[in-house]
Structure 1
Amino acid sequence: MKALPMLCTLVFFAVLANAQDETVKTLQTEAGKSIAKDPKDTSSKIWKTGGTFSFNLAQGTLSNWAAGGDKFSLSVNTFINAHAFYKKGKASWDNNVDIYYGLVKTTSLGTRKNDDRFDLLSKYGQSIHKNWNLTGLFNLRSQVLKGYEYPDANTKIYNSNFFAPAYLLLSPGFDYHPSSNFSLFLSPATSRWIIVNDTTLSTIYGLQAGNKSIFQFGAYASANYSANLSKVVTYKGKLDLFSNYKSRPQNIDLYMTNQFAAKISRVLSTTLSVSFIYDDDVKLFGKNGDSPGLQFQSLLGVGLLVKL
């Protein structure tokens, strides 16, 4: 896993290098860890707000179907983004929240989650150069409801819950923002807490039995990018990397999201979400279910996409 973050980083920035045209440079990033300001926007408002709402639905029904399959299946996925940013003089304060939730229901397996995440960011900065801010960053990631692993159709294993785990990050650093569609935050001194509010889950998230939190100190980088890939297809992605100085710093934790949207009409679109997570402290995977591993998620759907 030591080489995987470097590979993901190369792939991420390869896309960046090949998409720098005038259309891309004026694209407004509406979600993610940096909220882009349109350079053509001459509004004098100190506070600006907005967001995105996405709702995707897929359903299937079978009756006397020779090829086989579940009699009924239903998939629902939602995404909500809300942001507010402040700008006055050299001071800026960006606030952003992303909420994901999804369910799948089939006749044979019942109802199961296929997505459950929230990501809250607050970032305050003072301009020190044309493209550089001296910045303080706060980030909180967790989920809302209980999560289970399903080794087979008849077994489910409880492995997560609200604030079990949660990742709280405080980071002073430098924010490089050369264009409206790209930003890079760098910090060599970042404090991170892993919180596990349910002590029955402590050991699988790198804590000692019975403990509810662990403190980590390390280096942190966060890159955010958006692009117009064609007249109807857009892309937004982010990559977070964290190296824990206190334990195996060479095993870099990774959190990467990629979202593609293809417009069908004014409010209808096809969306594809691809996410990767690697956390060296999460002991849920491997042959014996007690080692870290690369987490992968892919969701494809058709539905509403509304800008607020």
Structure 2
Amino acid sequence: MKRISTLFLLLFLAGNLFAQDETPIVPADTSYWLKEISGGLNLNQASFSGNWQGGGVNSIAVGTYLFGRANYAKDKWTWDNTLDLTYGVVKNKDEEGRKSNDRIYLDSKVGYEINDKWNYFFAVNFLSQFAPGYDFVEPEKVLISKFLNPAYLTTSIGVEYKPNDEFSLRISPFAPRWTFVTDTDLYMNVPTNYGVEIGKTVRTEWLAFNLLADWNKKLSENLTFMMRYQMFANYETLAFDTIDHRLDIGLTAKVSNLINVSLTSLSIYDIDQDDKIQFSQGLALGIAFKRGNFPEEK
């Protein structure tokens, strides 16, 4: 009997030890990524009866966009990546379809924390378009741009001021830029050839200054504001009228989980394209989606 009691005691103790060993171990969080992708489709349409006296033209416009970001952060290191694609077409009665929007924007930045508001950074930025662009001069259309005509690849090293999750300012005293025009005959339609020497396909600007400000603000529960400003100045040709400026602004109102209204504008000043400010604006209603693990902005 004593041996049986001793055996039960040993089994009891062994069971407790085994149970302790089987306690679930919660793995350490090794996911340092925040990811998000959003996109949408916008549709605008207008039609008029044959006897409509108010004037107007039947038209349809379709636009789509895709925005993504993937940010990595561990200790003092960060790696932020942004993808911004936009394309739109408008078709008026008795006219060819024309682009209403066209943008390829890629940005990748590696940062190292100096303190809670400042970082060192190295970034690569690419900007171009998808489809050919035309100057519609009756009775024909003239090709003035297309994919990689032009395209801009900018690298930059400097410091970044980031006081919060809404605003960032990159200041780069060294920002080489490459301008591509792969069609060597395009200069016949665009005499400036976007700053690229005629007969060549790329222009390199080694000594340059670059500034990029990015502000994303949630104005209310269903209203968000976006602003991105870029400045580029070549030290070798530095003058007030040779500094390039680009300003993107967007205002989005969420109507429901799938429907939103967006107002966008783009302003460009680049003397290698035109000696005046270029401006475009768009208003759209469409369906949208958004997925990701970024924390909700307050």
> Which TM-score tier does this pair reach, normalised by the shorter chain?
0.7 to 0.9
Mapped partners of 1:258, 1:91: distance in 2: 29
Q: Who is 2:10 aligned against?
A: none
Deviation at 1:303, TM superposition (A): 0.7
Structure 2, unpaired ranges of 5+: 1-28, 292-298
Q: Does 1:100 align with 2:89?
A: no
Among 135, 140, 148, the alignment partner of 1:155 is: 140
SS of residue matched to 1:130: coil
Q: Does 1:215 align with 2:204?
A: yes
Deviation at 1:174, TM superposition (A): 0.6
Q: Does 1:172 align with 2:144?
A: no
Mapped partners of 1:231, 1:207: distance in 2: 46
- Give matches, 1:112-261, under 5 Å: 112-152=98-138, 154-202=139-187, 203-216=192-205, 217-251=207-241, 252-261=243-252
Deviation at 1:44, TM superposition (A): 5.6
- Give matches, 1:84-95, under 5 Å: 84-95=70-81
Once the two structures are superposed, residues 163-211 of structure 1 have per-residue CA deviations (whole angstroms, 9 ceiling, x without a partner) of: 0100000110111110110000001111011110111224431122111
Deviation at 1:131, TM superposition (A): 1.0
SS of residue matched to 1:66: coil
SS of residue matched to 2:173: strand
Q: Who is 1:81 aligned against?
A: 67
> Do the aligned residues in 1 keep the contact of 2:40 with 2:66 (CA within 8 Å)?
yes
Deviation at 1:108, TM superposition (A): 2.3
Mapped partners of 1:295, 1:229: distance in 2: 28
With 231-240 and 61-70 compared, the bigger mean Cα shift is at 61-70
Mapped partners of 2:34, 2:218: distance in 1: 23
Deviation at 1:281, TM superposition (A): 1.1
> Do the aligned residues in 2 keep the contact of 1:243 with 1:250 (CA within 8 Å)?
no
With 75-84 and 221-230 compared, the bigger mean Cα shift is at 221-230
Deviation at 1:48, TM superposition (A): 2.1
SS of residue matched to 1:179: coil
Mapped partners of 1:56, 1:145: distance in 2: 18
Deviation at 1:96, TM superposition (A): 0.9
Mapped partners of 2:239, 2:151: distance in 1: 21
| Larger RCO (CA within 8 A; separation ≥ 6) | 1
Structure 2-normalised TM-score? 0.82
Deviation at 1:305, TM superposition (A): 2.3
With 248-257 and 190-199 compared, the bigger mean Cα shift is at 248-257
Q: Who is 2:255 aligned against?
A: 264
Mapped partners of 1:151, 1:245: distance in 2: 37
Mapped partners of 1:190, 1:235: distance in 2: 28
Mapped partners of 1:278, 1:114: distance in 2: 19
Q: How many residues align?
A: 256
> Do the aligned residues in 2 keep the contact of 1:148 with 1:158 (CA within 8 Å)?
yes
Mapped partners of 1:269, 1:107: distance in 2: 27
The alignment yields a C-alpha RMSD, in angstroms, of: 1.5
